[in-house]
A and B are shown apart, each in its own frame.
Chain A
Amino acid sequence: MTETNLALQANNISVTYHSRTGLFKSFKFQALNNVSFKVKRGETFGVMGRNGCGKSSLLRVLAGVYQADAGELVTHDIATRTLLTLGLGFDATLSGADNAILSMMLQGFSREEAKAYLPAVRNFSELGDFFERPVKTYSSGMRSRLGFSTGITTQTDLLLIDETLAVGDKTFNAKAEKAMMERIDSDQTVIFVSHSGAQVQKICQRAICLERGKLVAEGDVKDVAQEYANINDKKLD
């Protein structure tokens, strides 16, 4: 792999949280421990891991929400990134339409551009009249539909997807998957994060597996999925 076709490179990324439990008591929790990997331009890269493996922290570092405590993230020609994730990123008192506009403005679009995209987002989301209602009245499925529709409608250099396909009804899932596959075929760099090894296997070529913040497998998605299945089996015993 030459440097020129790389989209991003994570070098020894670590994230440690310090949580206070009392006035003078606190505990340390290492969410990510020395994680390194490379993502090629235009590829769909998978990250699998169980709950609490550090997926959310990794996505936030990749999205640039905050920096890792140690290590570095090197990106190549990535100006815009879109994070598709459930239950986060909304102002619950505002309507779905307003939230979609804010999301697009945060991605770097002007207000006019965002407004122009709005009918497409509304259409894709299938939210109907709920699109104009406050997000706090939404079910979790509706929230994820809003988030996914906003993210998929606009163009972005790096698309980060967090298990979005797992929620919503069957027909919407099929549509979302189709839209994603179109992106995947169209040279879009995608990082797909899920606790389901099968889902990652379905759409990614290469993947990594995280367990308790550590990278435990890396490479071809079949091998990584096998390794991930072994970890899950071990936990069941």
Chain B
Amino acid sequence: MFIKSLVLAHTMAAMRLKSEASKLYLSYLWWILEPMLYVAVFYFAFSYLLNRGGENFLVFLMCGKIPLMWYTKTLIKNSMSLTTGKGLMGQRDFPKFVFPYSHTLEAAYKETVVYLFLVAFVWLYGFEAGVEWLYLLALVPVMLLLILSTGMVAAYITVYVPDFRMIIAMFTMALLFVSGVFWDVRALPDPRMTELMLIYNPFAFMLDAHRQVLMYRTAPDWTQLGYIAGGAALLLLIMHGWFASQSQRIARRLYS
């Protein structure tokens, strides 16, 4: 049953990728263009106008913006996933976690290409490649767990409180400012603050870990990474069970 749902989620994701690409002129190129345009704007504002950032600021920005954008864009898609899935829900009863799963898969397929681009860019920029870059393979599953677990919470709440998507928009904006995208969490004036941020803001930790791996070829803090993975996995387990038990209630709510 679970495998069947996963196949369904994958099928939906693949179909959406295909239809989205046929709609836009530059089609798949946007997957890379979009994050790069954001990075270009930030680079212009901080490096050129404010004369901040320092050495390798472009790569620094990319290592922060790309993973964070993966998270925030998928969160927004996931939060609307049940509401937009109403049509299909009207056909029969099936596990509703298929919707956030399919949007998360869709984003993950896109992000594979973006990450390959990121790695290639960092290398071409002049950073030395090393086996340590393989630590990325440990960061990506944790990102997925964070995206899916919180995305399911957002999707569920949005069914009952449609206004919640306003909160999500503000939340993603807040993440951009407090997670160290354009400033270095390790260069804060108060070192205690750095420590607190890395412990209590999983996003600050994850972005920093991307930089540690790609720019400095340093392993992430495994203990902290383990805590984040464990917490997200627990949340995912709870949400998965909850979605399975609430399947007909969710449809009922959307059709009243």
Contacts of B90 in A (CB 8 A): 60, 65, 83, 85, 88-89
Contacts of B15 in A (CB 8 A): 91, 94-95, 98, 101-102
Distance from A143 Cβ to chain B, minimum over Cβ atoms (Å): 11
What secondary structure prevails in chain B residues at the interface with A? helix
Inter-subunit contact B89/A65 (CB<8 Å): yes
A93 on interface, CB distance cutoff 8 Å: yes
Q: How far is the CA of A48 from the CA of B255 in the complex (A)?
A: 22
Could you tell me how many residues of chain B have their Cβ less than 8 Å away from some Cβ of chain A? 25
Inter-subunit contact A91/B87 (CB<8 Å): yes
A interface, size bucket: 20 to 34
B16 on interface, CB distance cutoff 8 Å: yes
B223 on interface, CB distance cutoff 8 Å: no
Inter-subunit contact B255/A94 (CB<8 Å): no
Contacts of B256 in A (CB 8 A): 17-19
Given A65-B248, A65-B251, A66-B251, the answer on whether A102 and B93 have CB atoms closer than 8 Å is no
B51 on interface, CB distance cutoff 8 Å: no
Inter-subunit contact B7/A111 (CB<8 Å): yes
Contacts of A88 in B (CB 8 A): 87, 90
A42 on interface, CB distance cutoff 8 Å: no
A195 on interface, CB distance cutoff 8 Å: no
Contacts of A65 in B (CB 8 A): 89-93, 248, 251, 255
Q: What are 22 A-B interface contacts by the 8 Å CB criterion?
A: A18-B256, A63-B92, A65-B251, A66-B93, A66-B248, A66-B251, A67-B252, A82-B92, A88-B90, A89-B87, A90-B87, A94-B15, A94-B16, A94-B19, A95-B19, A102-B8, A105-B7, A105-B11, A106-B88, A106-B94, A107-B92, A111-B7
